[in-house]
Structure 1
Amino acid sequence: MMTDAGEQLEVQLDDCPPGRETFNDPLQEDASGPDSHLSSALRELEEPLLLLADVALAPPCGRAVFYSCPEAERVERSLQSVQLQLHFLLSKADDLHDCLLGGQGHVEREALAAAISSLLYTCQPYFNHLESTARSTMAQYTHVPADMCSTLLDFSQQLCDKLEQLVLTYASYGLLSLNEAEPDSASHFCVGQTQLGQLKLTIFRYCQPTPYLSRANTQLYKRMRWNVERVRDQQQTEEEDGDDEEETFTDYYFLCYEDIPNPHAEANEDSEGVSDGSVVRMWSIGQWVQANPDPSTEDIWDWILCEVPQGGYNRLLFLGHDEPSSRSATDYLQQLLLSCCTD
């Protein structure tokens, strides 16, 4: 039952030591979901989502999906269980928020800050299964209903928003750093993984707009990042390297905004020299283009001696003036990736 799983999860969070020694860092850029040391309570998060996919069987071509009464009841119960799990994780975030505001000492506040990392890591399996069940191209073969996918992605968005606000609150008290260049930065966190055919997509959310490059002013600010792991064409690998093993490589995509000067703005500057309407904010999705070290170099010292890689931004999709939610931005990227795969 969800109550038991919730209690076990609560015990795990409460008993967690103030450091990260027993957890993988949830802010690592290659986060890959739960590993063997997670408690059985965390693995219970998988069961209702797997059931949602399993019971949505593919119908014959041209026919609608109809559930029998027992199947419909199982789907409804599973969806309710997933929602209860969401409410539990949201309540843990609220508890940490309330504990911060009612904190009575510096040590306690530091322990609470460390608990944020534990909560982010605890939420990751839930994010993974929401995103993979709703987005994975494998769902096409089980015909998971669109309204069910939408509900799961709504859950993911709610949890993402809650965690983002929690991190921002702790940062406003000086307990967390949002500076990406710092080792213990909480600038971003992983909000799920999914499989799109031969592509593995890992999604990251920046808690606030962050400069695209840490040591250069590009006028670009990133809000999300997607790591897209691809399997290199096996035949090409064999021809070039004589190796029959699959080789993978990762592309990096970003949701960014930039403030573009407005040539039609009136020259009506305020006291600080900034005019209303002088710039237009534009959002876009683009791809990281490696500049330094040169991606074609074979000299390993170029990579060893490069402290911070530098790259350009190849704009692929303009999204307009309004910032998209993390869900809709990932929708856009998914459509972009799948359209490229089918071209």
Structure 2
Amino acid sequence: MKDWSGNAATGSPTSNNYEVNSTDTESPVLRGATVNGNRLVLSYTEATTLDATHKADKGAFTVLVDGTANAVTATAVDATAKTVTLTLTTAVTVSQNVTVSYTDPTTGNDANATQDAAGNDAASFAARSVSNNTAQDTDNDGVSNAVEDQVRGLARFHGAATVAGDGNGDGIKDSGQSAVCSNASVTLVAGSQNGKLKADNGTRITSLEQKDAPANYSGALEMPIGLTEFRAELGAGTRTEKFSLYVDPAQGVNGYWVQNQSGTWVNLASSPYGGKMVLEGDRLRLDFQITDGGEYDADGQADGVITASGAAAARMPLHIVGHASDVGLFGWFWF
């Protein structure tokens, strides 16, 4: 005799410990919860796997951060790892207290709930403490201090000592400036005046990420570091903001390229679009501007927030740039 997995049953029909495991009736049990930024992960103890198809609705979870609701925008189940990952509306910071609760839709088995592969629902649970593993991000720009502080400093002027973690060379660590943000590939400045912050700047960066080039990308541009995506909350009274993006010139890029409404890639770091490129110290600085709600604001809304997805890229064919594609890098500088 065998169980539902095809394994031989233990014991014999006459022994007291004989049992036939023909059905999985054990429900997943919550083991723990952790949060890092806007990702909250629930880990379960389960004999087999979780059901990644019939998962619980995002509304079944309640997350409180320092006592205030932080809505769940998406859920994902890793069947093998036996985890449920919740995406939060707002990223959690290092010192905040977080709790999470879950409500199973009904007392019986449900079509969509946190459950195992056999359909056994995990039980509801009241607010439980979540381990906050979020790295410290002093300026709340979406990049941790640890990452920003590792950025190679840019010399402020000839012969001056560099400051570690100062990607735009203004003498201040990027981890302490909400309008300057660095990762391993780029440094972004919002409210920029030749790469440094304007005195009256009120704009702040809230996220900066490097993404892979689009899967359906035609290859018209070379994107050595993929897409650079960012989000910036504008200062009061600002509609068009100026940005600077510092990159390694060894990458061979010659512009910050964004798709226009017709799908053509255009170089915002060029004079026709109010931008320019400058070699500053050992970095290439790409200066460009974007209008809130304008063509190059990814969300298309005049809402005080600019989101952008562009590429520090190179090697444009003639039909995109209007110049021969073999023009040298310095032939593309606009001042």
Which of structures 1 and 2 has the larger relative contact order (alpha carbons within 8 angstroms, sep 6+)?
Answer: 1
Q: Which has the higher strand share?
A: 2
Q: Which has the higher helix share?
A: 1
TM normalised by structure 2 equals 0.29
Answer with 1 or 2: which has the greater Rg. 2
TM normalised by structure 1 equals 0.28
